[in-house]
Chains A and B, each alone.
Chain A
Amino acid sequence: MRRIDFHLLGPLIALIALIIIGALLNPAFLAPANLSNVLARSAFIGLIAVGMTFVITQGGLDLSVGSMAAFIAGITIMAMNALVPITGVNWGTIIIGMMVAMAGGLAAGLFNGALITRARIEPFIVTLGTMGIYRSLVTWLSDGGTLSLDSGLRTLYRPVYFSGIGWITWPIITFAIVAILGEWMMRHTRFGRHVEAIGSNDRVARYSAVDVEGVRLASYVLLGGLVGLATILYVPRLGSASGSTGVLWELEAIAAVIIGGTMLKGGTGRVWGTVVGVLILSMIDNILNLADLVSPYLNGAIQGVIIVLAVVLQREKRATDNR
């Protein structure tokens, strides 16, 4: 007797339903240009959400990722602008900028992770703190305004966001690769298994000689690195950063993880679910913009309903488990 597990497939069914609804409401929805746009915008949150899946699955949380992205975008732009007189307007400068972004992400993740695992402070508290710190730093660096990338560099850098293989742009390709790697890591490697074990009971993991603190730290560093990667793809889109860059990204990422079926209390992680969660959230946004059935201003309300519904479904699953 094999019933369809709606808890497992629920998000996927919801996504398919959304695509059908979208296509019925407006044929332009399925046009490559629109899909390309939706997917590329999803890529930032998507990259971060893949990392967030690991952090949440091991029983942690990171509220700082939105501010972190803004801060990293800020220092990356400043670094590249500062390099223009020395190295000139060329790909070398941009590559150095990308390295700054990557290093910044890894360092920020390491900082969060070290405070959580070494100083043993609650992840919620640590990342609430660093969220404020990064946000405030980027506002300060931009003096309350906007940090803009040198216009020559901007022209050179633009294709990283806007072009790719046909309509499948680089952010989409990057997101797809990271998602596949992430799913593989979660399901098939020791790291993934340890992440799940720590999230379901860290004491059992410790007694099983799992490097609990090391794995936790690694999950925050991984997330930081993915924030860095997301920033590398984000900077060429607008060529600027400000105090309002990446606002609420952390909540969108967490929401995507939860919608995808990863439990907030940790223990079970589904990277493919997270990808579905990200797509659901951005498609709702897109459909509301394309169809004038419901005001796009209600986007947040609809997303909220979906998040709560997803959690209700999780709860029903747990009740069946206990039987």
Chain B
Amino acid sequence: METVLELSGVTRCFGPVEVLHGIDLGLRAGEVHALIGENGAGKSTIMKILGGYLAPTEGQVLLDGSPAAFSSGPEAEARGVVVIHQEFNLAPDLTVADNIFLGREMTRGWRLDHAAMRRAAGDLLEELDTRIDPRARIRDLSVPDRQMVEIAKALSRNARVLIMDEPSAALTHREVDALYAQVDRLRAEGVALMFCSHRLDEVARLADRITVLRDGSVVSRATRGEMTEDQMATAMVGRELTDFFPPKDTLTGNVLLEVQDLSVPGAVDDASLTLHRGEVLGIAGLVGAGRTELAEAIAGLRPGSTGRMTVSGEAVPLADVRAAGRAGIAYLTEDRKEAGLLLTKPLTENLTLAALDRFGFRIDRAAEARAMDDATREFDIRAASPDMPAGALSGGNQQKLLLAKTMLTEPQIVLIDEPTRGIDVGTKRQIYAFIRRLAAEGHGIIVISSELPEVIGLADRVLVMRQGRIAGEVEGDVITEEGIVRLAMGVGADHHDAEHKNREPA
């Protein structure tokens, strides 16, 4: 098969630091190419170079065999190279159809042909097996729907090369299936595809060719079937990954948190749960089952929630985040960038924001600096300087900073929502070990995760949510994917659906 887009000996420096060392890489027509590696391995930089957003310091980008110096993303797009970024590139106040045809509007004379654009957008979305209304505003769409619009937009541009950064990270299992079907269809049509993903099962399912990056160099190449998921993980981190999950060896103590009939309007109905000292309680369920809403309600972040809640027997008022904080409840959001960290502020200011009252009326900067030093060591935060903005950290280090920030409030009960979303394998392991250590120290931990292996590997007990209710509980050795999926899908779910869910937890 012919190579459409190629990197030849590409090196890239940021200032004095070389982050890519002589990369050779070819995207072929009708082939899906997966680029995998830990956070900071250079995946994003490669994608940006391929998509024309960055120029290589040395080496060349070749399109159809001849040097192509794209000066910008739009220029690359005009020549058939389209990148779908993780941060969506959509105008929130325009409609779906407007967005898909933004910059290439269909016209009739000098007027916009809204009807034709709506029809064409509708056809594209139908091909993607979604029910998104072309007239809907992006603002009103869920994250997965926005992702589908991004894909539809790329398809409408007749891409010859389609590059996707973590395309399934925000999708539910049904949409993931539609995405895979589209990938298969595009491959059959001769499009050259590339994606990067932290989900190795996805890589095994989709990729015809796999390139593994580590520290800015290609360390391994394989074609379909040549590499198991274990081998991919090993190649990425450069060491054997044994004992991925720490042993569940904590002794469970007395009841720490008791929640009775907690309801959040429109999201959670009459949820009750207990959490013990030293326990890791998992909450599983499909996206939209009310898991995040339940956790946020426990942390006092959901106005209008009703029910009863006690911590160590003391009643805690609901919908009052400061009262929950005083009772020792802390919540680690799944939305690091929008609700977790101030991306433009220095690391230190982020670290101490939730616990600022511990640093005196006149903020003690020296104490803050010490806290930052301690956190850097304890959580292994890899940062150039404590004064750098939090947004410049890699995803894994942002998550560690968020953990450090939460733990600085010295909570007894820690609710962690999607602890490892978008994080590389090595950092995942550190975070799992950390969660276990917190439990061993006598904290009560609630972990919400869409990745079933994570829930199963971490939790002593798992609550499964379905449509806003707690559908059931599994404990001990009976925590299996099957047990959880049955509860998550409802007992009457047909076998195919259940198996499907098994493969692709949303």
Instruction: Using CB atoms and an 8 Å cutoff, list the residues of chain A in contact with chain B.
Output: 188-190, 193-194, 196-197, 200-201, 203-211, 267-268, 321
Q: Which residue of B lies closest to A192 (CB)?
A: B363
| Those 5 A-B pairs whose CB atoms lie nearest each other, nearest first | A208-B354, A209-B325, A207-B339, A208-B353, A200-B342
Bound complex: CA A268 to CA B344 (Å): 10
Bound complex: CA A211 to CA B300 (Å): 13
B344 contacts A204, CB within 8 Å?
Answer: no
- Known contacts A204-B338, A209-B321, A211-B322; is A197 also within 8 Å of B353 by CB? yes
| Interface core residue of B321, B333, B342 (most chain A CB under 10 Å) | B342
A189 contacts B339, CB within 8 Å?
Answer: no
B322 contacts A209, CB within 8 Å?
Answer: yes
Which DSSP category, helix, strand, loop or mixed, fits chain A's interface? helix
B356 contacts A207, CB within 8 Å?
Answer: no
- Residues in B with CB closer than 8 Å to A206 are 301, 321, 339
**30 A–B pairs (Cβ distance < 8 Å), ordered by A:** A189-B362, A189-B363, A190-B356, A190-B361, A193-B349, A193-B363, A194-B356, A196-B349, A197-B345, A197-B353, A200-B342, A200-B345, A201-B343, A204-B338, A204-B339, A204-B341, A205-B353, A206-B301, A206-B321, A207-B333, A208-B353, A208-B354, A208-B405, A209-B325, A209-B354, A210-B354, A267-B344, A268-B344, A321-B344, A321-B389
Residue from B331, B344, B356 in contact with A200 in the complex, judged by beta carbons closer than 8 Å: B344
Q: Does B357 contact A (CB under 8 A)?
A: yes
| Interface core residue of A200, A201, A205 (most chain B CB under 10 Å) | A201
- Residues in B with CB closer than 8 Å to A193 are 349, 353, 356, 363
Q: Does B442 contact A (CB under 8 A)?
A: no
- Residues in B with CB closer than 8 Å to A194 are 356
Bound complex: CA A204 to CA B344 (Å): 12
A189 contacts B301, CB within 8 Å?
Answer: no
| Interface core residue of B343, B344, B405 (most chain A CB under 10 Å) | B344
A201 contacts B342, CB within 8 Å?
Answer: yes
Q: How far is the CB of B344 from the nearest CB of chain A, in Å?
A: 6
Bound complex: CA A100 to CA B344 (Å): 42
- Residues in B with CB closer than 8 Å to A200 are 342, 344-345
- Residues in A with CB closer than 8 Å to B322 are 209, 211
- Residues in B with CB closer than 8 Å to A209 are 321-322, 324-325, 354, 409
Chain B contributes a number of interface residues (CB within 8 A of A) equal to 27
A188 contacts B356, CB within 8 Å?
Answer: no
Q: Which residue of A lies closest to B392 (CB)?
A: A321
Bound complex: CA A268 to CA B333 (Å): 24
Bound complex: CA A48 to CA B349 (Å): 28
- Residues in B with CB closer than 8 Å to A210 are 353-354
- Residues in B with CB closer than 8 Å to A196 are 345, 349
Bound complex: CA A295 to CA B151 (Å): 59
Bound complex: CA A194 to CA B301 (Å): 18
Q: Which residue of A lies closest to B364 (CB)?
A: A188
Q: Does B340 contact A (CB under 8 A)?
A: yes
**Docked complex: B400-416 residues within 8 A CB-CB of A:** 405, 409
Bound complex: CA A210 to CA B339 (Å): 12
- Residues in A with CB closer than 8 Å to B324 are 209
Q: Which residue of A lies closest to B322 (CB)?
A: A209
Bound complex: CA A152 to CA B343 (Å): 58
Q: A190-B363, A200-B345, A204-B338 are known; give 5 further A-B pairs, CB within 8 A.
A: A197-B345, A201-B343, A204-B341, A207-B301, A207-B333
Q: Which residue of A lies closest to B333 (CB)?
A: A207
B363 contacts A188, CB within 8 Å?
Answer: yes
- Residues in A with CB closer than 8 Å to B339 are 203-204, 206-207
Bound complex: CA A197 to CA B339 (Å): 12
- Residues in B with CB closer than 8 Å to A211 are 322
Bound complex: CA A204 to CA B343 (Å): 10
Bound complex: CA A231 to CA B505 (Å): 64
- Residues in A with CB closer than 8 Å to B409 are 209
Bound complex: CA A210 to CA B67 (Å): 53
Q: How far is the CB of A257 from the nearest CB of chain B, in Å?
A: 19
- Residues in A with CB closer than 8 Å to B325 are 209
Q: How far is the CB of A10 from the nearest CB of chain B, in Å?
A: 19
- Residues in A with CB closer than 8 Å to B349 are 193, 196-197
Q: How far is the CB of A292 from the nearest CB of chain B, in Å?
A: 46
**Docked complex: B313-339 residues within 8 A CB-CB of A:** 321-322, 324-325, 331, 333, 338-339
**Docked complex: B342-401 residues within 8 A CB-CB of A:** 342-345, 349, 353-354, 356-357, 359, 361-363, 389
- Residues in B with CB closer than 8 Å to A197 are 342, 345, 349, 353
Q: How far is the CB of B213 from the nearest CB of chain A, in Å?
A: 23
Q: Which residue of B lies closest to A267 (CB)?
A: B344
Q: Which residue of A lies closest to B296 (CB)?
A: A207
- Residues in A with CB closer than 8 Å to B356 are 190, 193-194
Bound complex: CA A197 to CA B342 (Å): 7
Bound complex: CA A242 to CA B129 (Å): 67
- Residues in A with CB closer than 8 Å to B321 are 206-207, 209
Q: Which residue of A lies closest to B359 (CB)?
A: A190
Q: Which residue of A lies closest to B357 (CB)?
A: A190
Q: Which residue of A lies closest to B389 (CB)?
A: A321
Q: Which residue of B lies closest to A185 (CB)?
A: B362
Bound complex: CA A194 to CA B357 (Å): 11
Q: How far is the CB of B323 from the nearest CB of chain A, in Å?
A: 10
A204 contacts B361, CB within 8 Å?
Answer: no
Q: Which residue of A lies closest to B345 (CB)?
A: A200
Bound complex: CA A162 to CA B338 (Å): 51
Residue from B338, B354, B357, B389 in contact with A201 in the complex, judged by beta carbons closer than 8 Å: B338
Q: How far is the CB of A316 from the nearest CB of chain B, in Å?
A: 16
Q: How far is the CB of B350 from the nearest CB of chain A, in Å?
A: 8
Bound complex: CA A193 to CA B340 (Å): 16
Q: How far is the CB of A266 from the nearest CB of chain B, in Å?
A: 11
Q: Which residue of A lies closest to B353 (CB)?
A: A208
Q: How far is the CB of B379 from the nearest CB of chain A, in Å?
A: 17
Bound complex: CA A188 to CA B333 (Å): 28
